[in-house]
């Protein structure tokens, strides 16, 4: 089950399509969907989580808490819509594409991918791009 929760005024209007897409990503990676909660919030909300749980006093676009057991993908993905909007502008892309990239990025972490090195980061970016194309076909 995928749920979408809002801690600010932001709302996505295609929850069914995005839920189906995320489930297809998970299955394509040889995993099974458990429960994923997307929580959309503002910078202050996400910053407080970053300080409290990760001891990072910085702004970020996404924080994910991974509760995956084996191949059953589960977790909470917190997304700052303010940060995503700023990043979309900085990267010269539209808001929905940047939002979708961040959404799939969190799920790819749950599927076992990391982005600690430049090589891993490049591999994740390629997977994100692959799955963004898949979304356009849904």
CATH class held by domain 2-136: alpha beta
Rg (CA), the chain: 14
**Is 109 known as a binding-site position?**
yes
Q: Which CA distances in Å does 110 have to 25, 27, 47, 107, 131?
A: 11, 12, 22, 5, 15
User: In the chain, how long is the greatest CA-to-CA distance?
Assistant: 40
Residue labelled with tokens 């979408």 = 4
**Is 100 known as a binding-site position?**
no
Model confidence, pTM? 0.92
Q: Tell me the sheet residues that pair with 62.
A: 79
User: What does each of the 138 residues of the chain score in pLDDT, given as a tens digit?
Assistant: 999 999 999 999 899 999 999 999 999 999 999 999 999 999 999 999 989 898 889 889 999 999 999 999 999 999 999 999 999 999 999 999 999 999 999 999 999 999 889 999 999 999 999 999 989 876
**Is 47 known as a binding-site position?**
no
């Amino acid at each position: 089950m995928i749920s979408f929760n809002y801690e600010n005024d932001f709302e996505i209007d295609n929850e069914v399509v995005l839920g189906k897409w995320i489930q297809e990503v998970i299955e394509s990676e040889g995993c099974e969907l458990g429960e994923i909660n997307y929580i959309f919030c503002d910078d202050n909300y996400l910053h407080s989580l970053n300080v409290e749980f990760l001891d990072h006093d910085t702004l970020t676009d996404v924080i994910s808490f991974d509760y995956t057991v084996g191949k059953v993908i589960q977790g909470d993905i917190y997304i700052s819509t303010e940060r995503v909007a700023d990043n979309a502008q900085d990267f010269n892309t539209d808001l929905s594409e940047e939002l979708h990239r961040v959404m799939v990025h969190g799920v790819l972490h749950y599927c076992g991918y990391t982005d600690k090195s430049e090589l891993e980061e490049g591999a994740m970016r390629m997977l994100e791009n692959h799955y963004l194309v898949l979304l356009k076909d849904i």
